[in-house]
């Protein structure tokens, strides 16, 4: 099995006719993802490689059954596009867009909660269930099917760690990039239960970074609620205090939010923390054997 997406997931692409939307749609289709329709206002009636394009999400839903929507929509319009999909009843949204204004995302976050939809992102690489479906921008060739779930705040680190696992002969069940913005739709603690319930996931890798308290919250959740082993990696052991490192959410405040502080909290809850991405595969192999 997998979590969130699988070979039968029917996907809508919002912003399909833009350069990024078109490029990644073609890669998702090539991977085997069932992209059934696209939406770009004003481009209804067109198609992309035979995928019909509609002016609105509601028009697409009149013609297709849709399980998930991925958004390649400019930052100024991304929140409206999320709400349009949520209002139409699509249960899973994956927002790739970066640079969404904080106050726009804050408002959208609470409205989306009211609709009861699950949002992955924004400013994320999406998710992939290797060998089944890819809903995002991840390079599919570095992933292999297997028993390890990955949930990560970092996009490129996700690919690197998955590549180390794959080269070590350890495949992945589902890999989710949750995004690095201060306000995201799904946190570690909201996704870990899905891996815990997935019969094919035997171990979970948690990839964090400096800033915020998401990793500390995940450590406490794992200790209290998870029976499956968890291995972690935290990016930013050499990050200077007070300096933002890549993501808007990756900033240290005083002694809080440092990689060392996060590692201590995780290790105190019995979660081993790798000091390099390559070490993750070693720790995983030890716990799967």
Comparing 56-60, 164-168, 202-206, 211-215, which segment has the lowest mean pLDDT? 211-215
Quote the pLDDT of residue 210: 86
pLDDT at 252 exceeding the cut of 50: no
Quote the pLDDT of residue 246: 54
Q: What is the dihedral of CA 288, 165, 23, 151, to 10 degrees?
A: 50
Quote the pLDDT of residue 250: 47
Q: Which helix (H) or strand (E) holds 227?
A: none
Quote the pLDDT of residue 195: 98
Confidence category of residue 248, pLDDT binned at 50, 70, 90: very low
pLDDT at 28 exceeding the cut of 90: yes
Quote the pLDDT of residue 111: 97
Q: Are 175 and 142 in contact (CB under 8 A)?
A: no
Q: Which residues are catalytic?
A: 247
Confidence category of residue 244, pLDDT binned at 50, 70, 90: low
Mean pLDDT of 226-233: 98
pLDDT at 49 exceeding the cut of 90: yes
Place of tokens 């930013």: 236
Quote the pLDDT of residue 242: 57
Q: What's the whole-number average pLDDT of the chain?
A: 93
Contacts of residue 75, defined as CB under 8 A and 6 or more positions apart, other chains included, come to 97, 98, 99, 100, 101
Please state, in angstroms and rounded to a whole number, the distance separating the CA atoms of residues 29 and 176. 19
Confidence category of residue 198, pLDDT binned at 50, 70, 90: very high
Please state, in angstroms and rounded to a whole number, the distance separating the CA atoms of residues 260 and 219. 14
Domains and CATH numbers, the chain: 10-120 (3.40.50.720), 139-288 (3.40.50.261)
Comparing 29-43, 81-95, 114-128, 240-254, which segment has the lowest mean pLDDT? 240-254
Mean pLDDT of 100-124: 97
């Amino acid at each position: 099995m997998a979590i969130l997406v699988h070979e039968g997931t029917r996907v809508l692409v919002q912003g399909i006719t833009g350069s990024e939307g078109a490029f990644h749609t073609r890669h998702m289709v090539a991977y085997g993802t069932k992209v059934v329709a696209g939406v770009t206002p004003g481009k209804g009636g067109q198609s992309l490689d035979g995928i019909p394009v509609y002016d609105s999400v509601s028009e697409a839903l009149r013609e297709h059954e849709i399980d998930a929507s991925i958004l390649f929509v400019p930052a100024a319009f991304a929140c409206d596009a999320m709400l349009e999909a949520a209002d139409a009843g699509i249960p899973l949204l994956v927002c790739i867009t970066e640079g969404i204004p904080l106050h726009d995302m804050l408002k959208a976050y609470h409205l989306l909660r009211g609709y009861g939809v699950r949002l992955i992102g924004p400013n994320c690489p999406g998710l992939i269930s290797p060998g089944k479906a890819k809903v995002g921008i991840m390079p599919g060739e570095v992933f292999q099917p297997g028993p390890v779930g990955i949930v990560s705040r970092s996009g490129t680190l996700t690919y690197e760690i998955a590549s180390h696992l794959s080269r070590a002969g350890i495949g992945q069940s589902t890999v989710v990039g949750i995004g690095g913005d201060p306000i995201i739709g799904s946190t570690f603690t909201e996704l870990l239960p899905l891996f815990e319930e997935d019969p094919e996931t035997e171990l979970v890798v948690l990839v964090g970074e400096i800033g915020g308290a998401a990793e500390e919250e995940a450590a406490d959740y794992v200790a209290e609620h998870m029976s499956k082993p968890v291995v972690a990696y935290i990016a930013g052991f050499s990050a200077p205090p007070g300096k933002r490192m890549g993501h808007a959410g990756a900033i240290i405040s005083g002694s809080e939010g440092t990689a060392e502080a996060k590692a201590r909290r995780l290790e105190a809850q019995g979660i081993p923390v790798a000091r390099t991405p390559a070490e993750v595969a070693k720790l995983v192999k030890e716990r799967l054997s």
